[in-house]
């Protein structure tokens, strides 16, 4: 703060921040930490006393050790494949220009917010035994049986995780890469360093924090993945999540279930801590005075590099567009003919017996829950981002990791905790839209932090100081200086939180009651009711809603500071 500020003024700022922060902790305590603590407490008690014996049972049982190892193994493989697919994409977006580049960059978030059930349907329609790929191969080589057995195996799980997460790697690494000052590279070049040497010696170390940060994020998501493992791997491949689900939901063994939740949370909290540490290194990168040179991708002269890039683009397009287009085609085919019947069903205003409400109502429910949860997660996330950037407290990394805990706690556990903590007396929120919105707010605020934090870090504090020294009040400085600067970032965060809420299903299903269904739940109900065309149509609407939201944010974002870290 500038020297011109009086001591009392400074205290007031601190006091205001302190009150807000205590309010934040109280809120999170009520809706998240306390319910979660009560669930975990069950796993650490035996006959009413604290005990480590449930934990001991888990850690000495071959079966639980097997699923812990398998969870780690598939998460590592998924992370490596996501990096392998995502990094060339980041290179492409950084170094080349081509038509539709901006659109593609914003669309990279879309796979991430797609409900697992839609992705699973797309994968089955595209990669399955009678899916497009096998059909093509069979007619091309005149085969009588499908040659590729991709799904229902470890390969299927890892591919689906890469489908979800590779675009995240592309986005995060691309943002960091564009921030590298080209002068460093040019200096090395003038000293005679070759292309590969410059990449290994300069670019790679500068990208390391972004690489680590995105790899850690992908690892955590794959580690906690549940519906994908269950739908594309099948029951023969069990992760810790599946183990918890079985214990808590089927065997009602809260003792062992909570102990396993404890192991899972401890592991993923450690990964979250590593991820935050890596991301902290991110801030070291400073914007250069110039941006990296960008080359047009499509030129007359073909080189080996350009041919490789085109091959990559073709493979990637098939991989990402294939499953999505097969959902689109499925939604437009009724009994072997082209038809819009499925969409007519979805937009019908009348009561749909399969959903318990009219389909339009599920769209409205989704929008309402998305709106309320964003209205909660945006201020919560912004406050935590401010804490992360401004605080100089000892152990703030650890506090931050704890504040980011929802990232490390599975949706099954969060849904269960919220139900446990808020569903009954005294609030009786069970089965209301509000309780679903609260659960969504908890699930999404860490992503708000992720988007806003780099924006706050990029904010030059001298701007505020200048405004204050020129006599602007604290509020005026906030509304007229800070807000316009971080506004686009907050908007991007809001859209991201909103899109995540729209696509969320696991916690919703645990908390909903009929009539409160959302769009992904409708997809699921339509599948259960054997209405595949309508399920695909609803899935397409979900894809379109999220894609439009991100394209819109990209247009808005261009007017302000860059906000592309996620």
Partner 1 sequence: MFNKLTVLFVVVLLATVVIGTGKERLVVYTYDSFVSWGPAAALEEVFESQHDCDLQFIAAGGAKTTLSRLLAERDASGTKADLFMAEVNEVPRIMNYDLFLPVTKEDIPNLALVPEELLLDPGGGFVPYEYGYITLTYDSQVLTEDELPRSLDQLSDPRYARMLVCEDPRTSSTGFSFLLWTIARFGEEGYLDFWQAIDPTILTITSGWSEAWAMLSHGEAPLIVSFSSDTAYGAMYEDSIRYRAFAPGGQGYRTVYGIGIVKETTKPELAKAFIDLLLSIEIQEQLPGTEIMIPANSHAKLPPEYDEYLVIPEDPLMLPLDLVGERMERWLHDWERAIVTK
Residue of the chain from 188, 212, 360, 434 that contacts partner 1 (CB under 8 A): 434
Kindly state whether residue 67 participates in binding partner 1, applying the rule CB under 8 A.
yes
367 binds partner 1 (CB under 8 A): no
Stretch that binds partner 1, among 165-173, 183-191, 250-258, 395-403 (CB under 8 A): 250-258
Exactly one of 265, 411, 525, 546 binds partner 1 (CB under 8 A); that residue is 525
- Tokens representing 385 are 């981002």
State in angstroms the smallest separation of the CB of 460 from partner 1: 22
Please select the residue that binds partner 1; options are 389, 509, 551, 556, rule is CB under 8 A. 509
Q: Which of 430, 457, 482, 560 binds partner 1 (CB under 8 A)?
A: 430
Exposure letters 392-418 (e unless 16+ CB within 10 A, then b): eeeeeeeebbebbbbbbbbbbbbbbbb
- To partner 1, the closest distance from the beta carbon of 242 in angstroms equals 8
Nearer to partner 1, 129 or 561 (CB): 129
Q: For residue 97, what are the β-bridge partners?
A: 296
Residues 6+ apart with CB under 8 A from 83: 166, 169, 211, 214, 215, 218
Contact region with partner 1 (CB under 8 A), list: 121-129, 274-282, 285-293, 452-460? 121-129
Instruction: Tell me the number of residues near partner 1 by CB under 8 A.
Output: 71
The strand pairing partners of 338, in sequence order, are 333
Stretch that binds partner 1, among 176-184, 314-322, 424-432, 446-454 (CB under 8 A): 424-432
Q: Which of residues 273-302 bind partner 1 (CB under 8 A)?
A: none
Stretch of 95-103, 184-192, 414-422, 553-561 contacting partner 1, by CB under 8 A: 414-422
**Shortest distance, position 215 Cβ to partner 1, whole Å:** 28
Out of 68, 83, 87, 125, the only residue in the binding site for partner 1 (CB under 8 A) is 125
DSSP notation for 87-108:
HHHHHHHHHEE-TTHHHHHHHT
Is residue 379 within the footprint of partner 1 (CB under 8 A)?
A: yes
Helices (H), 179-299: 182-190, 195-198, 204-224, 227-228, 240-245, 254-282
Contact letters (x/-) for partner 1, 29-48, by CB under 8 A?
A: ---------x----------
Q: Going by C-beta distance under 8 Å and a sequence separation of 6 or more, which residues neighbour residue 321?
A: none
| Structure token pair of residue 262 | 């404890």
Smallest gap from Cβ 56 to partner 1, in A, equals: 18
Tell me, what DSSP letter sits at residue 333? E
Which residue in the set 77, 95, 354, 367 belongs to the binding site for partner 1 (CB under 8 A)? Answer: 354
CA neighbor of 93 nearest in space, from 291, 284, 320? 291
Gyration radius (Cα) of the chain, Å: 25
Tokens matching residue 468: 């204050």
Contact with partner 1 (CB under 8 A): which of 96, 98, 312, 532? 532
Is residue 428 a contact point for partner 1 (CB under 8 A)?
yes
Binding letters toward partner 1, positions 306-345, x by CB under 8 A: ----------------------------------------
Q: Is 169 in the site for partner 1 (CB under 8 A)?
A: no
**Distance of alpha carbon 420 from its chain centroid, rounded?**
25
- Which is nearer to partner 1, 24 or 188 (by Cβ)? 24
- Closest approach, Cβ 57 to partner 1, in A, equals 12
* Stretch of residues binding partner 1 (CB under 8 A), selected from 158-166, 249-257, 280-288, 445-453: 249-257
Angle at 392 between CA 386 and CA 393, to 5 degrees: 105
For helices 154-178 and 304-331, the axis angle rounded to 10 degrees is 120
Our measurement of the distance from residue 309's CA atom to the centroid of its chain's CA atoms, rounded to an integer in Å, reads 27
Please count the helices (runs of H) and the strands (runs of E) in the chain: 27, 6
Binding status of residue 17 toward partner 1 by CB under 8 A = no
Look at residues 94, 104, 105, 103 and name the one whose alpha carbon lies nearest to residue 294: 94
Distances in Å between the alpha carbon of 257 and those of 133, 241, 411? 40, 10, 15
Min dist CB 489 to partner 1, Å, is 15
Binding of partner 1 by 376 (CB under 8 A): yes
| CA-wise closest residue to 230 among 359, 74, 358 | 74
Report the site for partner 1 in 184-213 (rule: CB under 8 A): none
338 SS3 class: strand
Is the Cβ–Cβ distance between 202 and 184 less than 8 Å?
A: yes
């Amino acid at each position: 703060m500038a020297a011109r500020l009086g001591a009392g003024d400074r205290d007031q700022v601190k006091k205001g921040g302190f009150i807000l922060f205590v309010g934040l902790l109280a809120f999170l305590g009520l809706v998240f930490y306390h319910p979660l603590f009560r669930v975990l407490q069950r796993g650490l008690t035996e006959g009413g006393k604290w005990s480590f014996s449930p934990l001991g049972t888990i850690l000495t049982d071959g079966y639980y050790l097997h699923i812990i190892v398998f969870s780690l193994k598939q998460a590592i493989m998924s992370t490596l494949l996501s990096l392998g697919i995502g990094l060339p994409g980041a290179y492409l977006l950084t170094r080349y220009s081509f038509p539709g580049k901006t659109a593609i960059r914003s669309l990279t978030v879309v796979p991430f917010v797609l409900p697992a059930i839609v992705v699973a349907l797309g994968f089955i329609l595209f990669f399955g035994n009678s899916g497009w790929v096998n059909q093509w191969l069979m007619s091309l080589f005149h085969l009588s049986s499908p040659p590729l057995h991709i799904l229902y195996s470890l390969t299927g799980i890892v591919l689906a995780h890469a489908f979800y997460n590779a675009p995240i790697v592309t986005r995060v690494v691309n943002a960091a890469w564009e921030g590298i000052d080209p002068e460093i590279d040019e200096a090395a070049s003038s000293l005679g360093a070759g292309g590969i040497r410059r990449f290994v010696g300069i670019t790679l170390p500068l990208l390391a924090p972004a690489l680590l940060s995105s790899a850690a994020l992908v690892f955590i998501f794959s580690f906690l993945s549940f519906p994908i493992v269950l739908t594309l791997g099948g029951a023969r491949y069990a992760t810790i999540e599946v183990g918890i689900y079985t214990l808590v939901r089927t065997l009602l063994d809260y003792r062992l279930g909570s102990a396993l939740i404890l192991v899972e949370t401890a592991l993923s909290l450690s990964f979250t801590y590593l991820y935050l540490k890596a991301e902290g290194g991110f801030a070291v990168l400073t914007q250069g005075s110039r941006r990296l040179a960008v080359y047009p991708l499509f030129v007359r002269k073909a080189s080996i590099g350009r041919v490789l890039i085109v091959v990559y683009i073709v493979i990637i397009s098939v991989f990402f567009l294939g499953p999505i287009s097969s959902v689109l085609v499925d939604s437009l085919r009724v009994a072997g003919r082209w038809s819009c019947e499925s969409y007519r069903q979805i937009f019908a205003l009348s009561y749909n017996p399969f959903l318990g409400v009219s389909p339009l109502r599920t769209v409205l429910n989704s929008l309402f829950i998305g709106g309320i949860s964003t209205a909660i997660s945006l201020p919560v996330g912004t406050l935590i981002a401010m804490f992360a950037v401004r605080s100089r407290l000892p152990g703030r990394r650890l506090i931050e990791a704890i504040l980011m805990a929802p990232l490390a706690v599975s949706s099954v556990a969060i849904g269960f905790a919220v139900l446990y903590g808020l569903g009954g007396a005294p609030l009786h929120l069970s089965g209301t839209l509000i309780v679903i919105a609260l659960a969504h707010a908890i699930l999404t605020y860490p992503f708000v932090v992720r988007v806003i934090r780099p924006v706050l870090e990029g904010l030059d504090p001298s701007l505020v100081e200048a405004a204050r020294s020129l006599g602007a009040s604290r509020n005026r400085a906030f509304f007229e200086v800070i807000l316009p600067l971080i506004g686009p970032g907050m908007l991007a965060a809001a859209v991201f939180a909103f899109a995540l809420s729209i696509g969320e299903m696991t916690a919703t299903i645990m908390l909903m009651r009929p009539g409160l269904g959302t769009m992904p739940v409708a997809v699921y109900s339509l599948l259960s009711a054997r209405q595949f065309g309508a399920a695909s149509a609803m899935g397409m609407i979900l894809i379109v809603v999220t894609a439009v939201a991100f394209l819109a944010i990209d247009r808005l974002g261009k007017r302000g500071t860059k906000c592309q870290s996620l």
